[in-house]
Amino acid sequence: MPQTAFECLELEEMVARLAKYHPADDAHLVEKAYHFAREVHEGQVRSSGEPYFSHPAHVASILTELMLDARTIAAGLLHDTVEDGEGITIEVINREFGDDIAQMVDGVTKLGRLDFSDREEQQAESLRKMILAMGKDIRVVLIKLADRLHNMRTLSFKPRDRQVAIARETLDIYAPIAHRLGVYTIKQEIEDLALRYIDPEIYHEIARKVGMKRVEREAQIATVIGTLSGKLEEMGVKNFSIEGRPKHLYSIYRKMVIQNIHFEEIYDLIAVRVLVDSVPECYTVLGAVHTLWNQVPGRFKDYISMPKNNMYQSIHTTLIGGRSIPTPFEVQIRTYEMHRVAEYGIAAHWKYKEGGNSGELDKKLYWLRQILDWQSETRDSKEFMDGLKTDLFSEEVFIFTPKGDIINMQRGATPLDFAYRIHSQVGNACIGAKVNGKLVPLDTELVTGDRVEIMTSSSSKGPSMDWLNVVKTQQARAKIRQFFRRELHGENVQKGRDILENEAKRRGVKLGDLTKPEYIETILKRYTFPDLEAIYGAVGYGGLTSAYVISKLLEEHNRTEKSAVQQKAPTLPEPQTILRQGKPTKGIYVDGDAGMLVRFGHCCNPVPGDEIVGFITRGRGVTVHKSDCLNAVNAEKERLVGVSWAQEEAGAFNASIRVVAYDRPGLLGEITVFVTDMGTPVTAVSGKVNRNGTCSIHMVIQVNSKDQLRKTVANLQKRSDVLEAYRSVS
């Protein structure tokens, strides 16, 4: 189990700690929030059996360790009162504690009262809400990180499936956010805890191996510290500190997986950290280190001269020490101030009551502004989650402008991404690019050190739809879509209407039947669209997929019309009362006739587990439809008959699925193999490349149950290159 970096403080201890680093701050505000939250949560208990108030108290303790201001600590104490307190609203918090605390509490409050189709959509929109709140006040995410840290510490009391889901979300979203903000003291602990629940076996195996060589490792670290201390004293370096640097388990796991190496091959299990007063002394220490031991080639990084985007500064060098220290070891060198920033990141720079340097803060948080830019153009929840993970996880490259300014870009970015990073107008007017003085294609991948010059033309007509296939960053993609949405509004509306009509027709319905005001209301409210024309326009410029829109409209149609369908359909016997004489035909029992010919409707392709109804077809026996299939709903009542699935193994059934994914060479074959590897035979497959850089794939697969079909679609939806996957008609 990783060491706990933060303890839970009583109210008096919180106030005392706050007084040490913010002596002029309002301690009474913390006291008021403490008593208010404790009263709201009175009688509530957590899964562990502890009083619920222990959670916000732990969160506030973590925030004091990060040395945040009284208003942030108060918001931490109050962060669950709206979500879990009876009669407590944001308006109540605003009245009692002020607007900025209310905004912070609102920013970390989940969306739980809106109509979401599934848990994933609710999660995506709650995260979107938090990202927007971060744009207004970065303290929101510091509260959320403290909240997630304590939840991870108490995760053992959750059911196994929730443990894995929460741990996976932590690794996918919250650990990368902590990394982006430079809050390594939280990042490392939540990563170790997440690994413990996602892969307990490997977690305990790594912990065991780390523990086995602890005595040997500590002896070698002591040798390094003793030798280096003597050298620095000899050189006249004052007020230095050298200590062993613990390696957290998840970083070991990552190296083993990414580099495909064994535990014994990891270099920096032995590591020391040297802290000094000034930057010149850092380089003095570096010289001493390289004098004492041999440097491992390719294992030197200077983050002081070129800091990471999250403010991290340090020198890293890996060395070999000879017979006394036969194992390669790492030395990190930084100032005391750099170390504080490395531990607490953005929180170390946060002087909210003093105002701080807003311009410098904006530079540190440029990645957040990028997310805020593109998220407004991304309507689909899954696309938002994929884009968010990409932006948070992506490594960076450092690119030079012609004037020598450094621009940090996502690894894999192209000159076209660079153009849009400079300004939307530069990107829209781009006609070519030079990298290191040479003309290059716009899809060239940039690497650290490249000097990029963008060529523009005032006569340019703007971006091409093909550019959506070229750019790699969500920011550039959003700006291109923004251009098409704004400049080609009328064309997009017509195009979107045509696309939706084709999609509706493919599903066996008319678009006009689905665009009634009561059906479109959910989408209008969900995306704050003013009218149906805005939906057409969003589909036209690629902001929404046609599959998503038609699926939502069909859901609303079916929900609204359900009572009418039930009145129209005949009263059929319950499946368990159907006479089951002789053997079933194709896995189907037909009411009152054991030998009747049975076939399945190609319009809906029912599979075991679906609710079904039979339709007597002249000369062809009974055709089985899903009970909500429009062909069955509109059939003559007297020709409908009760049918039920046989309990025994009924064989394989055809089912149609649609996949919308980012287009690239080999995609069709890769998706086919992916589905087949799940034990789901593919009997037919076809694909069509769309103009917006996506590919629509139609597959006919064989399944033995609705549950198998659902799992196949769910696994497809988890792929990062898949936008939509759903069951469809043929």
Give the 3-state secondary structure of residue 626: strand
What is the DSSP code string of 650-689? ---EEEEEEEEEE--TTHHHHHHHHHHTTT--EEEEEEEE
Q: Is 83 designated active site? A: yes
- Whether 191 is a known active-site residue: answer no
CA gap 237, 344 in Å, rounded? 26
Classified as helix, coil or strand, 376 is coil
Beta-carbon-side half-sphere exposure of residue 198 (alpha carbons within 13 Å): 17
Looking at 42, 50, 83, 243, which residue is catalytic?
Answer: 83
CB 3 within 8 A of CB 247: no
**Phi and psi angles of residue 188, each rounded to the nearest 5 degrees, phi first:** -70, -40
Helix (H) or strand (E) holding 724: strand 722-728
- Collapse the DSSP code of 69 into the 3-class scheme (helix H, G, I; strand E, B; otherwise coil) and give the result: coil
The whole-angstrom separation of Cα 294 and Cα 302 is 17
DSSP 576: G
Burial of 476 (0-12, 13-18, 19+ CB in 10 A): buried
Residue 147 and residue 128: Cα distance in Å, rounded?
Answer: 17
Size of the chain in residues: 730
Residue where the block lists tokens 């502890």: 50
End-to-end CA distance of the chain: 52
Check: CB of residue 570 under 8 Å from CB of residue 529: no
The structure tokens listed for 278 are 């000034």
> What SS3 class is residue 604?
coil
If you search the block for the tokens 């008319």, which residue do you land on?
510
Please give the order of strands across the beta sheet that includes 430-435.
Answer: 438-440, 430-435, 452-456
Distances (CA, A) of 140 to 36, 204, 361, 389: 20, 34, 15, 19
Strand partners, 589: 644
Residues near 67 by Cβ (< 8 Å), separated by ≥ 6?
A: 21, 22, 344, 347, 348
Q: Which residue is catalytic, options 84, 169, 277, 337?
A: 84
Torsion of CA 565, 571, 573, 579, to 10 degrees: -110
CB 427 within 8 A of CB 419: yes
Task: Specify whether the CB–CB gap between 341 and 311 falls below 8 A.
Answer: yes
Maximal CA-CA distance, the chain = 103
| Angstrom distances, CA of residue 729 to CA of 509, 667, 682 | 11, 22, 16
Indicate the DSSP class of residue 608: B
What whole-number distance in Å separates Cα of residue 187 and Cα of residue 271?
A: 19
Residue 434 CB-density burial (10 A; 0-12 exposed, 13-18 middle, 19+ buried): middle
CA 82 to chain centroid: 25
- Secondary structure of the chain: what % helix, strand, coil (to 5)? 50, 15, 30
Q: 647, 719 in Cβ contact below 8 A?
A: no
Q: Locate 567 and state its tokens.
A: 């009145």
User: Which two structure tokens, joined as six digits, stand for 627?
Assistant: 């009970």
Catalytic residues: 83-84
